[in-house]
Amino acid sequence: MEDKGGGPLLDSTIATRIVLAFQSRPTALQARLPAPWQVTATPAGANLVVIFNDVWLNQDASGRAAPDAVNRYVGFVTPAKHPDTGEEASFNFRIFTAHPDSLPGKYRTARPATIRREQEVQSDALTATVSERFTFQIPDGGLVDLRLKYVGGVPTHAAGRARVRSAADPAILRVYHVDQLVYVVRDVPKGIDRVQDLRVDVTVPELRDLFDGSEQLISITVSPHYFRQVYGR
């Protein structure tokens, strides 16, 4: 099996995603990181990324459908840096998922949720208007709810890689090789705004310190066409 630096191929995913980047309280994020990792931020100031995933197919390394072949989940991630080695990685510290076979998951951070999903894509010739909704009801209380309506355009093609570690066990490292189409539907620093309607509610008790009203939305990107191969050990 091909080794692309992080180890052999572990799995691959084909999905659609909505990625919300926030600036939240650094101390609350730092409290979720294992020592000696330090929370960082993107040049635009985002230090908390919330990723809504609608998975069409998860495959294992041999190409077979994974036990959680079709799934819906939301992941919470913070960028961090190792002060000694300089390594940069994103730390996954929580996932809420609809699939029982995704528990506790590859990062050992997943918890179950009841999920409702709605999407409407209205295309008229060469323009599309898209309405999205993800609602994750958490059994212990609270919800994560996204309502988004935006006007599409011509997406950009992006390919890249990312290192993702688990906040529950930093020895878990998965290296993502991603090929995707991206709509930037809001980018506050760049003045891009294709959003017609937006509401984000996060009322999960364990996330209250991150979503206390002081958090600021930096950007929203949508990937209608997302392919990822993950390498690791």
Partner 1 sequence: MALLNVTRDTKVHVRLRANPAALQRRLPQPWTIAPAAEGPHAGANLVVIFSEVLLRQDAGGGQAPDAVDLSVAFLIPAAHVQTQEPASFIFRILTANPAGVPGRYRNSVRATAKRLRRLAGDGLSTTVTDEMALRSVDGGHVELRLQYQPGVPVRMQWPTTLRSAADPSLVRTYRSDALVDVVWSEPAGIARARDVQFRVTDPSLRDLFDGTERLISIAAIPWFIREEFAL
For residue 190, state whether it binds partner 1 (rule: CB under 8 A). no
Query: Using CA atoms, how far apart are residues 149 and 122, in angstroms rounded to an integer?
Result: 11
Smaller CB distance to partner 1: residue 75 or 152? 152
Smaller CB distance to partner 1: residue 23 or 71? 71
For residue 114, state whether it binds partner 1 (rule: CB under 8 A). yes
Q: Which ranges constitute the DSSP H helices of the chain?
A: 26-30
In angstroms, give the least distance from the CB of 31 to partner 1: 32
From 47, 42, 45, 19, select the one nearest 148 (Cα to Cα).
19
For residue 197, state whether it binds partner 1 (rule: CB under 8 A). no
Query: Using CA atoms, how far apart are residues 220 and 222, in angstroms rounded to an integer?
Result: 7
Interacting residue with partner 1 among 120, 140, 169, 212 (CB under 8 A)? 120
Contact 84, 37 (CB under 8 A): no
Contact window for partner 1 (CB under 8 A) among 31-39, 54-62, 161-169, 184-192 = 54-62
In angstroms, give the least distance from the CB of 233 to partner 1: 25
For residue 60, state whether it binds partner 1 (rule: CB under 8 A). no
Query: Using CA atoms, how far apart are residues 55 and 145, in angstroms rounded to an integer?
Result: 18
Residues 6+ apart with CB under 8 A from 100: 112
CA 77 to chain CA centroid, Å, is 7
Residues 6+ apart with CB under 8 A from 134: 18, 52, 72, 74, 115, 116, 117, 144, 145, 146
Size of the site for partner 1 (CB under 8 A): 34
For residue 196, state whether it binds partner 1 (rule: CB under 8 A). no
Count of other CB atoms within 10 angstroms of residue 175: 19
In angstroms, give the least distance from the CB of 24 to partner 1: 28
Query: Using CA atoms, how far apart are residues 88 and 182, in angstroms rounded to an integer?
Result: 23
Query: Using CA atoms, how far apart are residues 92 and 69, in angstroms rounded to an integer?
Result: 20
In angstroms, give the least distance from the CB of 171 to partner 1: 30
Contact window for partner 1 (CB under 8 A) among 35-43, 194-202, 204-212, 219-227 = 219-227
For residue 184, state whether it binds partner 1 (rule: CB under 8 A). no
In angstroms, give the least distance from the CB of 30 to partner 1: 34
Site residues (CB under 8 A) for partner 1? 14, 54, 56-57, 59, 63, 65, 69-72, 98-99, 114-126, 154-157, 181, 224-225, 227
